[in-house]
Protein backbone atom coordinates (compact mmCIF):
# COMPACT_ATOMS: atom_id res chain seq x y z
CA UNK A 1 0.00 0.00 0.00
CA UNK A 2 1.38 3.40 -1.03
CA UNK A 3 1.99 5.28 2.22
CA UNK A 4 2.68 8.96 2.89
CA UNK A 5 4.78 9.54 6.01
CA UNK A 6 4.40 13.04 7.49
CA UNK A 7 6.30 14.27 10.52
CA UNK A 8 6.17 17.42 12.57
CA UNK A 9 9.63 18.91 13.00
CA UNK A 10 10.29 20.62 16.36
CA UNK A 11 10.08 18.11 19.19
CA UNK A 12 9.37 15.26 16.77
CA UNK A 13 11.75 14.77 13.84
CA UNK A 14 14.28 17.27 15.17
CA UNK A 15 16.41 16.28 18.15
CA UNK A 16 17.07 18.23 21.33
CA UNK A 17 19.49 20.42 19.37
CA UNK A 18 16.71 21.38 16.90
CA UNK A 19 18.52 19.57 14.08
CA UNK A 20 17.95 16.46 12.00
CA UNK A 21 20.59 14.03 13.23
CA UNK A 22 22.98 12.51 10.73
CA UNK A 23 21.50 9.10 11.49
CA UNK A 24 17.96 10.25 10.75
CA UNK A 25 19.15 12.11 7.66
CA UNK A 26 20.85 8.98 6.31
CA UNK A 27 17.85 6.73 7.04
CA UNK A 28 15.40 9.12 5.38
CA UNK A 29 17.62 9.60 2.34
CA UNK A 30 17.98 5.85 1.81
CA UNK A 31 14.25 5.30 2.22
CA UNK A 32 13.42 8.16 -0.15
CA UNK A 33 15.75 6.68 -2.76
CA UNK A 34 13.91 3.38 -2.30
CA UNK A 35 10.59 5.07 -3.09
CA UNK A 36 9.27 6.01 0.35
CA UNK A 37 7.06 9.11 0.41
CA UNK A 38 8.39 11.08 3.39
CA UNK A 39 7.78 14.74 4.15
CA UNK A 40 7.20 17.17 7.02
CA UNK A 41 4.33 19.34 8.24
CA UNK A 42 5.58 22.26 10.28
CA UNK A 43 4.88 25.78 11.47
CA UNK A 44 8.30 26.74 10.12
CA UNK A 45 8.86 28.54 6.84
CA UNK A 46 11.10 27.35 3.98
CA UNK A 47 13.82 29.67 5.28
CA UNK A 48 14.58 27.14 8.02
CA UNK A 49 12.94 24.01 6.58
CA UNK A 50 15.23 23.96 3.53
CA UNK A 51 18.53 23.96 5.43
CA UNK A 52 17.27 21.50 8.06
CA UNK A 53 16.14 18.95 5.47
CA UNK A 54 19.18 19.25 3.21
CA UNK A 55 20.43 15.79 2.26
CA UNK A 56 17.26 13.92 3.20
CA UNK A 57 16.18 13.69 -0.47
CA UNK A 58 12.49 13.85 0.48
CA UNK A 59 10.33 13.80 -2.65
CA UNK A 60 6.85 15.12 -1.73
CA UNK A 61 6.48 18.85 -1.02
CA UNK A 62 6.74 19.99 2.59
CA UNK A 63 3.72 21.39 4.39
CA UNK A 64 4.99 24.73 5.70
CA UNK A 65 3.52 27.51 7.82
CA UNK A 66 1.08 25.03 9.40
CA UNK A 67 -0.50 24.30 6.04
CA UNK A 68 -0.72 27.80 4.58
CA UNK A 69 1.49 26.62 1.71
CA UNK A 70 3.39 23.71 0.22
CA UNK A 71 7.06 24.11 -0.65
CA UNK A 72 9.88 22.16 -2.24
CA UNK A 73 13.43 23.19 -3.22
CA UNK A 74 12.61 22.37 -6.84
CA UNK A 75 9.24 24.10 -7.22
CA UNK A 76 9.27 26.75 -4.50
CA UNK A 77 5.94 27.82 -3.01
CA UNK A 78 2.72 26.18 -4.18
CA UNK A 79 -0.94 26.36 -3.08
CA UNK A 80 -0.40 29.47 -0.93
CA UNK A 81 -3.44 30.51 1.14
CA UNK A 82 -3.61 34.28 1.76
CA UNK A 83 -5.60 36.01 4.49
CA UNK A 84 -8.27 38.58 3.65
CA UNK A 85 -7.13 42.17 4.45
CA UNK A 86 -10.12 42.75 6.75
CA UNK A 87 -9.25 39.61 8.73
CA UNK A 88 -5.63 40.69 9.03
CA UNK A 89 -6.64 44.10 10.40
CA UNK A 90 -9.07 42.54 12.89
CA UNK A 91 -6.44 40.04 14.01
CA UNK A 92 -3.85 42.75 14.63
CA UNK A 93 -6.34 44.76 16.69
CA UNK A 94 -7.35 41.75 18.78
CA UNK A 95 -3.72 40.82 19.42
CA UNK A 96 -2.83 44.36 20.49
CA UNK A 97 -5.73 44.33 22.97
CA UNK A 98 -4.19 41.27 24.63
CA UNK A 99 -0.66 42.66 24.71
CA UNK A 100 0.50 40.40 21.90
CA UNK A 101 2.52 41.75 18.98
CA UNK A 102 2.78 39.24 16.11
CA UNK A 103 5.27 38.90 13.32
CA UNK A 104 3.28 39.36 10.10
CA UNK A 105 4.38 37.17 7.19
CA UNK A 106 3.75 38.45 3.68
CA UNK A 107 4.91 37.21 0.28
CA UNK A 108 7.25 39.62 -1.43
CA UNK A 109 7.11 40.14 -5.19
CA UNK A 110 10.33 38.16 -5.57
CA UNK A 111 9.02 35.08 -3.73
CA UNK A 112 10.86 35.95 -0.51
CA UNK A 113 8.91 36.36 2.74
CA UNK A 114 8.74 39.89 4.14
CA UNK A 115 8.15 39.71 7.90
CA UNK A 116 6.89 42.80 9.73
CA UNK A 117 6.87 43.46 13.48
CA UNK A 118 5.32 46.84 14.15
CA UNK A 119 5.56 47.10 17.94
CA UNK A 120 7.48 50.14 19.19
CA UNK A 121 8.60 48.27 22.32
CA UNK A 122 11.74 46.09 22.26
CA UNK A 123 11.28 42.44 21.36
CA UNK A 124 10.53 40.17 24.31
CA UNK A 125 12.92 37.33 25.15
CA UNK A 126 11.14 34.75 23.00
CA UNK A 127 10.76 37.15 20.07
CA UNK A 128 14.41 38.18 20.25
CA UNK A 129 15.57 34.56 20.23
CA UNK A 130 13.24 33.81 17.31
CA UNK A 131 14.58 36.81 15.39
CA UNK A 132 18.25 36.14 16.17
CA UNK A 133 17.99 32.57 14.85
CA UNK A 134 16.41 33.69 11.57
CA UNK A 135 17.63 37.19 10.80
CA UNK A 136 20.37 36.10 8.37
CA UNK A 137 18.46 33.35 6.57
CA UNK A 138 17.74 33.38 2.87
CA UNK A 139 14.08 33.41 1.75
CA UNK A 140 13.07 35.75 4.58
CA UNK A 141 13.47 39.50 5.30
CA UNK A 142 12.62 41.09 8.66
CA UNK A 143 11.25 44.62 9.03
CA UNK A 144 11.26 45.52 12.74
CA UNK A 145 9.26 48.45 14.13
CA UNK A 146 7.58 48.82 10.78
CA UNK A 147 3.78 48.53 10.59
CA UNK A 148 2.36 46.30 7.89
CA UNK A 149 2.14 48.44 4.73
CA UNK A 150 -1.17 48.56 2.86
CA UNK A 151 0.55 47.14 -0.22
CA UNK A 152 1.29 43.91 1.69
CA UNK A 153 -2.22 43.34 3.02
CA UNK A 154 -3.29 41.38 -0.04
CA UNK A 155 -0.33 39.00 0.34
CA UNK A 156 -0.43 38.29 4.07
CA UNK A 157 -0.06 34.59 4.83
CA UNK A 158 0.08 34.40 8.60
CA UNK A 159 0.52 36.14 11.92
CA UNK A 160 2.82 34.50 14.46
CA UNK A 161 3.22 35.81 18.01
CA UNK A 162 5.44 34.61 20.84
CA UNK A 163 4.83 35.56 24.45
CA UNK A 164 3.43 34.40 27.79
CA UNK A 165 1.07 31.48 27.22
CA UNK A 166 -1.82 33.15 29.06
CA UNK A 167 -1.63 36.11 26.67
CA UNK A 168 -1.46 34.05 23.49
CA UNK A 169 -4.35 31.90 24.75
CA UNK A 170 -6.43 35.03 25.50
CA UNK A 171 -5.67 36.43 22.05
CA UNK A 172 -6.71 33.14 20.44
CA UNK A 173 -10.08 33.23 22.21
CA UNK A 174 -10.66 36.84 21.16
CA UNK A 175 -9.65 36.13 17.57
CA UNK A 176 -11.93 33.10 17.33
CA UNK A 177 -14.89 35.30 18.24
CA UNK A 178 -13.96 38.23 16.00
CA UNK A 179 -12.67 36.67 12.78
CA UNK A 180 -13.18 33.72 10.45
CA UNK A 181 -9.49 32.90 10.63
CA UNK A 182 -7.93 29.60 11.58
CA UNK A 183 -6.39 30.30 15.00
CA UNK A 184 -4.30 28.25 17.40
CA UNK A 185 -2.28 28.88 20.53
CA UNK A 186 0.01 26.23 21.95
CA UNK A 187 3.07 25.99 24.24
CA UNK A 188 6.56 26.13 22.80
CA UNK A 189 8.13 22.68 22.45
CA UNK A 190 11.11 23.65 24.62
CA UNK A 191 9.82 26.40 26.96
CA UNK A 192 6.27 25.42 27.92
CA UNK A 193 5.64 28.81 29.60
CA UNK A 194 5.99 30.54 26.23
CA UNK A 195 2.96 30.49 23.99
CA UNK A 196 2.94 30.51 20.21
CA UNK A 197 -0.07 32.09 18.53
CA UNK A 198 -0.69 31.45 14.83
CA UNK A 199 -3.39 33.05 12.68
CA UNK A 200 -4.17 31.93 9.12
CA UNK A 201 -6.82 32.15 6.43
CA UNK A 202 -9.99 30.16 7.15
CA UNK A 203 -9.58 26.44 6.66
CA UNK A 204 -5.79 26.38 6.88
CA UNK A 205 -4.44 23.41 8.85
CA UNK A 206 -1.77 20.76 8.66
CA UNK A 207 -4.51 18.17 8.17
CA UNK A 208 -5.99 19.91 5.10
CA UNK A 209 -2.57 20.42 3.52
CA UNK A 210 -1.58 16.81 4.14
CA UNK A 211 -4.74 15.67 2.38
CA UNK A 212 -3.62 17.76 -0.60
CA UNK A 213 -0.15 16.15 -0.55
CA UNK A 214 -1.78 12.74 -0.31
CA UNK A 215 -3.81 13.50 -3.44
CA UNK A 216 -0.77 14.86 -5.30
CA UNK A 217 1.30 11.75 -4.50
CA UNK A 218 -1.48 9.20 -4.94
CA UNK A 219 -0.90 7.80 -1.45
CA UNK A 220 -3.51 5.40 -0.09
CA UNK A 221 -2.45 5.58 3.54
CA UNK A 222 -1.04 8.29 5.81
CA UNK A 223 1.17 7.86 8.87
CA UNK A 224 1.65 11.08 10.86
CA UNK A 225 4.03 11.91 13.73
CA UNK A 226 3.66 14.71 16.29
CA UNK A 227 4.34 15.96 19.79
CA UNK A 228 2.35 19.17 20.37
CA UNK A 229 -1.24 20.38 20.46
CA UNK A 230 -1.04 21.90 16.97
CA UNK A 231 -0.35 18.38 15.64
CA UNK A 232 -3.67 16.97 16.87
CA UNK A 233 -5.70 17.75 13.70
CA UNK A 234 -3.24 15.96 11.42
CA UNK A 235 -2.96 13.02 13.83
CA UNK A 236 -6.74 12.70 13.89
CA UNK A 237 -6.86 12.77 10.08
CA UNK A 238 -4.08 10.18 9.61
CA UNK A 239 -4.66 6.47 9.15
CA UNK A 240 -1.96 5.85 11.74
CA UNK A 241 -1.19 8.50 14.38
CA UNK A 242 2.18 8.23 16.11
CA UNK A 243 3.26 10.33 19.08
CA UNK A 244 6.88 10.56 20.17
CA UNK A 245 7.59 9.66 23.78
CA UNK A 246 8.22 13.30 24.73
CA UNK A 247 4.85 14.46 23.35
CA UNK A 248 2.33 16.27 25.53
CA UNK A 249 -0.05 13.93 27.39
CA UNK A 250 -3.02 14.93 25.22
CA UNK A 251 -1.06 14.04 22.09
CA UNK A 252 0.05 10.66 23.43
CA UNK A 253 -3.54 9.91 24.41
CA UNK A 254 -4.84 10.81 20.93
CA UNK A 255 -2.23 8.70 19.12
CA UNK A 256 -2.66 5.13 17.94
CA UNK A 257 0.83 4.33 19.16
CA UNK A 258 3.72 5.98 20.99
CA UNK A 259 7.27 5.56 19.74
CA UNK A 260 10.57 6.61 21.31
CA UNK A 261 11.67 10.19 22.06
CA UNK A 262 12.70 12.74 19.44
CA UNK A 263 16.27 12.50 20.77
CA UNK A 264 16.65 8.87 19.60
CA UNK A 265 15.89 9.08 15.84
CA UNK A 266 12.54 7.50 16.65
CA UNK A 267 10.61 8.92 13.69
CA UNK A 268 13.14 7.76 11.10
CA UNK A 269 13.41 4.32 12.70
CA UNK A 270 9.62 3.92 12.82
CA UNK A 271 9.30 4.89 9.16
CA UNK A 272 12.04 2.43 8.19
CA UNK A 273 10.34 -0.43 10.01
CA UNK A 274 6.89 0.40 8.63
CA UNK A 275 8.08 0.96 5.06
CA UNK A 276 10.01 -2.30 5.04
CA UNK A 277 6.98 -4.12 6.42
CA UNK A 278 4.68 -2.61 3.78
CA UNK A 279 7.17 -3.42 1.01
CA UNK A 280 7.57 -7.00 2.20
CA UNK A 281 3.80 -7.51 2.38
CA UNK A 282 3.43 -6.26 -1.19
Options 3.40.50.2020, 3.40.50.1000, 3.30.450.20, 3.20.20.10; CATH for 3-79+205-281 is: 3.40.50.1000
- Mean local confidence (pLDDT), 72-85: 94
Bridging pattern class, strands 182-187 and 194-200: antiparallel
Grade residue 216 by pLDDT with cuts at 50, 70 and 90: very high
pTM: 0.89
pLDDT of residue 146 exceeding 80, the answer is yes
Task: Give CA 61 to chain center in angstroms.
Answer: 13
Residues of the chain with CATH 3.40.50.1000: 3-79+205-281
Q: Give Cα separations from 274 to 9, 81, 215 (angstroms).
A: 19, 33, 21
Q: How far is residue 165's CA from residue 46's CA, in Å, rounded to a whole number?
A: 26
Segment 107-143, tens digit of pLDDT: 999 989 999 998 888 899 999 999 999 999 988 999 9
Residues of the chain with CATH 3.30.1240.10: 85-200
Q: How far is residue 138's CA from residue 156's CA, in Å, rounded to a whole number?
A: 19
pLDDT (0 to 100) of residue 281? 60
Q: How far is residue 141's CA from residue 263's CA, in Å, rounded to a whole number?
A: 31
pLDDT (0 to 100) of residue 282? 47
Task: Give CA 120 to chain center in angstroms.
Answer: 28
Segment 183-204, tens digit of pLDDT: 999 898 788 889 999 999 999 9
| Nearest Cα residue to 105 out of 154, 153, 158 | 158
- Mean local confidence (pLDDT), 160-175: 95
Task: Give CA 54 to chain center in angstroms.
Answer: 17
Class of domain 85-200: alpha beta
In SS3 terms, 126-163 reads as: HHHHHHHHHCCCCCEEEEECCCCCHHHHHHEEEEEEEE
pLDDT of residue 9 exceeding 90, the answer is yes
CB of 246 closer than 8 Å to CB of 5: no
Amino acid sequence: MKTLYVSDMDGTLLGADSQVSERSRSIIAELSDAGALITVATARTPATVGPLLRGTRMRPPAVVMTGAALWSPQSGYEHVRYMQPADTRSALEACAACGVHPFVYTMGPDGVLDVYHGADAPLNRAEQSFYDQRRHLALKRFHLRQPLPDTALERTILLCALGPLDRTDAAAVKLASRTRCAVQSYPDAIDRSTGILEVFAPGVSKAAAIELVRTLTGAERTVAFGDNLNDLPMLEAADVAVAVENALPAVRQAADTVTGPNSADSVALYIAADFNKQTYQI
